[in-house]
Amino acid sequence: MIIPRVPVQHRRLLPEPRLSGPTPWVIAILMMLTLLAAGAGVGLARAAEAIGEAIAGRVTVQIVTPGPAARAEQAAELRRSAAGEPYVRAARQVGQDELLATLGQWLGSAGGDDPVLRSLPLPALVDIDLAAGDRAGQLARLKALVERIAPGARVIPHAEWLGPVARLIRSLAWIAGGLVLLMILASGAVVVMTARAALGTHYATIEMLHLIGATDRQIARLFQRRIAIDTAYGIALGTAVAAIVLLLVGWQWSRVTSGLAATASLGTGGWALLLALPLLAIALAALTARQTLLAALKKIL
Amino acid sequence: MTGAATQRAGGAMVEFDNVGLRYGPDGEILSDISFNLQPGSFYFLTGASGAGKTSLLKMLYLAQRPSRGIVRLFGEDLGSMPRHRLPGFRRRIGVVFQDFRLIPHLSARDNIALPLRIAGVSEEDLAGPVGEMLSWIGLDARAEARPATLSGGEQQRVAIARAVIARPQLLVADEPTGNVDPEMAMRLLGLFEALNRLGTTVVVATHDVHLISRIDNAQMMRLEKGRLSDPTGALRYPPNRA
């Protein structure tokens, strides 16, 4: 049982009211940081996974043949031919207007109708999604196809330039996981110190209880209950604050719809993990307190 | 076991055989202690301050294991007794401390009820004995008072009530009259004598030699520099209390 049942008359053996010491507050802070780190970790891990999936088979072919008409013709031919290949899942020619709109965002000309922008010699782009399978072989065959249709065109696998970003995000997710582990250990240490401090504070009472025949389990249950309740208060407080922060961040995140940011979310499993963490923390605190108390009591005859 | 101890060991409630006790690396504070306590007897343990009375009592009420020798309580060797069995034995021993050691945030009633609660007696069943005990020590009216609001004598009576409410077979009292006036000392001694008449073995540590003469058939042990003497011979040849 996480919080042991102790008769009311026995509970009075420990005098202080709850939330009298620093333990609930320290636990609340640690729990909040744990949940925020866990939330960040889950979000980053899912983002890394989403990016990984998105870039794994995506290739962009950049055709730089002189003459806009020739470029457009080669791009259309490449799209058609690629779409007919068995190792290609989808092929799409990026429209000129789409390119101009994207460049317009960077060059300060909204809408892409700037005459200067339109005068730029833009390459023709074809996005190709490869089917699952031998990536190296597929790329080699695609390059051969590109070379045949549009000599001199560049084949750019997205994994080459987005891969390091995905790896960085994955590393950050692992760091967040490490922080969660460290904070759980720190919380355990706080519980151990609290249990030992409680034994020190109430040593005279414990000695008396021992002398009149109380067992270690009876004494441990008294303290375990108090520590578990104090810890549960701290965990509840920390969880509430973390939930507010996570919901606010989630709300702000949901308004970011472009780029890599759009790939990050907690998902059902992530939220379930965040909800399970406080319950696990209470159980861990109660177990830690119990083991600490029993170990300490064994040192007293 | 020494000759005297062997002679009297049969049926003894407590047996000490060549017991020594030391704290840390220093020399023994108790050496070569051998005696037996017979059921239903009344013993005084005397000696100057620092003679080792409290240390000897600690072994009697299972707060301390001997450094050497054999201590048997209720026929069982304390030295080899596993720790988890100690609470059962402690419930058969009542202890009265010189400094009372009442739990300060509990009322007199709750302090007295403590041994019964620890033993698992229900609130319904312990209400009667606790009320009787409060009447016996004359503190009915102060049942809900905290120890800090009680006088020294009242606190000592609560401590005695706590020690005896579970009807222990052995009652150990460490300087129980040290903090009370002579009149209260005699009243407390009367309580011990009454318990002894009910069959409880009583051991009272005191340096007040005047108390000793007040109890008929009481036997005396004397500690001097950590060694036990038997000036009256009562330990070797205890009077028949039948």
What is the C-alpha to C-alpha distance for residues B29 and B21, in angstroms, rounded to an integer? 6
Could you read off the pLDDT of A175-205 as tens digits, one per residue?
999 999 999 999 999 989 988 888 888 888 8
What is the C-alpha to C-alpha distance for residues A137 and A155, in angstroms, rounded to an integer? 14
- C-alpha to C-alpha distances, A37 to A182, A274, B144, nearest whole angstrom: 11, 10, 51
Contact list, A209 vs chain B (CB under 8 Å): 114, 118
Query: Is the minimum CB–CB distance between A8 and chain B shorter than 8 Å?
Result: no
Chain A, nearest residue to B117 by Cα: A10
Query: Is the minimum CB–CB distance between B170 and chain A shorter than 8 Å?
Result: no
Chain B, nearest residue to A10 by Cα: B117
Could you read off the pLDDT of A223-258 as tens digits, one per residue?
888 888 888 899 999 999 999 998 888 888 777 655
Tokens 């009910």 sit at which residue? B198
Query: Is the minimum CB–CB distance between A222 and chain B shorter than 8 Å?
Result: no
pTM of the model: 0.71
Pick from A5, A12, A209, A212 the residue to mutate for testing the B interface (most B CBs within 10 Å).
A212
Q: Rounded to 5 degrees, what are φ and ψ at B229?
A: -120, 165
What is the C-alpha to C-alpha distance for residues A223 and A72, in angstroms, rounded to an integer? 78
Amino acid at A174: W
For the record, the structure tokens of A187 come out as: 């919380």
- C-alpha to C-alpha distances, B141 to A5, A114, B115, B138, nearest whole angstrom: 33, 99, 21, 8
So what's the ipTM on this one? 0.82
Q: Rounded to 5 degrees, what are φ and ψ at A92?
A: -140, 130
- Residue B8: its pLDDT value, please? 44
- Residue A159: its pLDDT value, please? 80
Query: Is the minimum CB–CB distance between A201 and chain B shorter than 8 Å?
Result: no
Distance from CA of B61 to the nearest CA of A (A): 7
What is the C-alpha to C-alpha distance for residues A40 and A31, in angstroms, rounded to an integer? 14
pLDDT at A51 over 80: no
Q: Which residues pair with B146 in a beta bridge?
A: none
Query: Is the minimum CB–CB distance between A17 and chain B shorter than 8 Å?
Result: no
Q: Which residues pair with B221 in a beta bridge?
A: B45
Contact list, B174 vs chain A (CB under 8 Å): none
Counting one residue from chain A and one from chain B, the pairs whose CB atoms sit within 8 A come to 57
- Residue B236: its pLDDT value, please? 55
Distance between the two ends of chain A, CA-based, in angstroms?
27
Pick from A213, A298, A301: which is nearest to B118 by CB?
A213
Between A23 and B180, the higher pLDDT residue? A23
Q: Which residues pair with A157 in a beta bridge?
A: A59
A46 and A264 Cβ atoms separated by less than 8 Å: yes
For the record, the structure tokens of B108 come out as: 């007199």
Tokens 């600690």 sit at which residue? B58
Could you read off the pLDDT of A52-65 as tens digits, one per residue?
777 778 899 999 88
What is the C-alpha to C-alpha distance for residues B227 and B55, in angstroms, rounded to an integer? 12
B219 and B234 Cβ atoms separated by less than 8 Å: yes
Between B56 and A106, the higher pLDDT residue? B56
- A9–B113 C-beta distance less than 8 A: yes
Contact list, B84 vs chain A (CB under 8 Å): 215-216
- Residue A16: its pLDDT value, please? 63
Tokens 């460490």 sit at which residue? B174
Q: Which of residues 5-44 of B touch A (CB under 8 A)?
A: none
What is the C-alpha to C-alpha distance for residues B220 and B204, in angstroms, rounded to an integer? 10
Query: Is the minimum CB–CB distance between B62 and chain A shorter than 8 Å?
Result: yes
What is the C-alpha to C-alpha distance for residues A6 and A11, in angstroms, rounded to an integer? 6
- A212–B123 C-beta distance less than 8 A: no
Distance from CA of B103 to the nearest CA of A (A): 6
For the record, the structure tokens of B147 come out as: 């120890």
Pick from B61, B104, B119: which is nearest to A211 by CB?
B61
- Residue B48: its pLDDT value, please? 84
For the record, the structure tokens of B29 come out as: 């504070």
- Residue A134: its pLDDT value, please? 83
Q: What is the mean pLDDT of chain A?
A: 84
pLDDT tens-place values along chain B, 242 residues long: 443 443 445 578 899 988 999 988 888 889 988 888 889 999 999 888 888 888 999 999 998 889 999 999 988 888 788 888 999 999 999 999 888 899 998 999 999 999 999 998 988 999 999 999 999 888 999 999 999 999 888 998 899 999 999 989 999 999 888 777 788 788 788 888 888 998 899 999 987 777 777 887 788 888 888 888 765 565 555 555 44
- A9–B117 C-beta distance less than 8 A: yes
A143 and A104 Cβ atoms separated by less than 8 Å: no
Pick from B103, B118, B123: which is nearest to A218 by CB?
B118
CB atoms within 10 A of CB A91: 21
- Residue A113: its pLDDT value, please? 66
Closest CA to B40 of B152, B183, B195: B195
Query: Is the minimum CB–CB distance between B115 and chain A shorter than 8 Å?
Result: yes
Distance from CA of B139 to the nearest CA of A (A): 21
Distance from CA of A1 to the nearest CA of B (A): 20
From A31-35, A143-147, A264-268, A290-294, the region with the lowest mean pLDDT: A264-268
- Residue A170: its pLDDT value, please? 86
